[in-house]
């Protein structure tokens, strides 16, 4: 049996108001139309829902059961309509996307703050891991897209790679560090100290190869080390800005065109060709494109074209 929800709603309204004329008025229908639809519903259900009396409509015993279940069904239909509208707009549903750890440290706080305010109904999972694990999650369809270093994802015909922007690095030391008061700092000055880095060792230029270099992807660990030693932390500016504002860290005025790491890192959005993003994923990607690399945040968005 196929139930027409519009006719079922007319049945419920008539039961609630106890009158065909009042139900017709409430639903903006003619009385003959609603009377005809109720008769069709009774025929479909195989029971008499109403007894017609001089005082109006009176529910039969079978009608009481039918109306009780109809009200529950209509409420579920309203919930479905509401939830689907939210899903269609990207305001609800589930989304899992992959983020490389260092990129996540820079971008995720702002992205998740925005989502918590604008899309609080989303069930959002940011999967933070290294590049091989991220690609595995994309190929297995566990992640809808990845946000990572573009040069760490080998080109493949099934992948779409979109440049989002650059993350810029600077060198920081604790307040009171021997280099903190210098007007200029040279490569030779830096090589006397241990370098703290969250990137791959391959990103350190050769002329810093003799330095002590500690690699760790956890920025909280590196922050603790730089605040309690004479090491030099080379890090995206956003991860040090709170300590700089508080006066606990000082940015080094490095005179060399190269820092102890490459001065910037290109971030790309990676996804599979032919797979459309869900509305929620489209919303997050749109936010990444428009806001994640705005001036004063992670870096600046350039004019590099989308590649495949």
Q: Residue 136 corresponds to which tokens in the numbers above? A: 């595995």
Place of tokens 């925005």: 114
Task: Provide φ and ψ at 240, rounded to 5°.
Answer: -110, -5
Give me the tens of pLDDT residue by residue for the chain, a chain 308 residues long. Answer: 678 888 888 989 999 899 889 999 999 999 999 899 889 888 888 889 888 888 888 899 998 998 999 888 888 877 766 556 656 666 667 889 999 988 998 999 999 999 899 888 888 899 999 999 999 999 998 998 999 988 889 899 999 999 999 888 888 999 999 999 888 888 888 888 998 988 766 666 666 667 788 888 888 999 999 999 999 998 888 899 999 999 999 999 865 544 444 577 899 999 998 888 888 888 899 999 988 776 444 544 444 444 44
* CATH code at 92-166+266-292: 3.40.190.10
Q: Which residues of the chain form CATH 1.10.10.10? A: 5-85
Q: Which residues of the chain form CATH 3.40.190.10? A: 92-166+266-292, 168-264
Q: Which CATH architecture has domain 5-85?
A: Orthogonal Bundle (1.10)
Residues 6 and 77: beta-carbon distance below 8 Å: no
Q: What is the largest CA-CA distance in the chain?
A: 102
pTM of the model: 0.64
C-alpha 161/C-alpha 244 separation (Å) is 34
- Helical H runs in the chain? 5-17, 20-27, 31-45, 61-88, 101-118, 131-139, 187-190, 219-228, 237-245, 279-287
Residues 8 and 70: beta-carbon distance below 8 Å: yes
The CATH superfamily label for domain 168-264 reads Periplasmic binding protein-like II (3.40.190.10)
C-alpha 7/C-alpha 3 separation (Å) is 8
The pairing of strands 56-59 and 50-53 is: antiparallel
């Amino acid at each position: 049996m196929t139930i027409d929800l519009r006719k079922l709603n007319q049945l419920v309204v008539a039961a609630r108001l106890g009158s065909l004329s009042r139900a017709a008025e409430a639903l903006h229908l003619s009385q003959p139309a609603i009377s005809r639809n109720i008769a069709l519903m009774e025929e479909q259900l195989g029971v008499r829902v109403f007894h017609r009396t001089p005082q109006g409509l009176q529910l039969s015993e079978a009608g009481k059961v039918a109306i009780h279940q109809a009200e529950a069904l209509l409420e579920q239909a309203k919930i479905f309509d509401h939830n689907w509208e939210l899903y269609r707009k990207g305001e609800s549903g589930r989304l899992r996307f992959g983020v490389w750890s260092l990129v996540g440290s820079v971008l995720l706080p702002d992205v998740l703050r925005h989502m918590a305010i604008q899309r609080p109904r989303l069930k959002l999972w940011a999967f933070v891991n290294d590049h091989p694990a991220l690609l595995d999650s994309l190929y297995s369809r566990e992640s809808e897209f990845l946000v990572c270093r573009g040069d760490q994802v080998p080109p493949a015909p099934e992948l779409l790679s979109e440049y989002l922007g650059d993350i810029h690095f600077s060198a920081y030391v604790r307040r009171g560090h021997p280099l903190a008061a210098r007007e200029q700092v040279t490569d030779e000055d830096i090589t006397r100290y241990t370098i703290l880095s969250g990137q791959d060792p391959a990103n350190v230029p050769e002329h810093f190869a003799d330095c002590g270099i500690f690699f760790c992807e956890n920025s909280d660990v590196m922050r603790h080390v730089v605040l309690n030693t004479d090491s030099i932390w080379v890090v995206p500016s956003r991860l040090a800005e709170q300590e700089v504002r508080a006066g606990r860290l000082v940015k080094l005025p490095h005179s060399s065109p190269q820092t102890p790491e490459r001065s910037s890192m290109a971030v790309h959005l990676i996804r599979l060709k032919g797979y459309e993003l869900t509305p929620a994923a489209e919303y997050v990607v749109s936010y990444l494109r428009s806001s994640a690399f705005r001036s004063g945040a992670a870096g600046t968005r350039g004019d590099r074209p989308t590649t495949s």
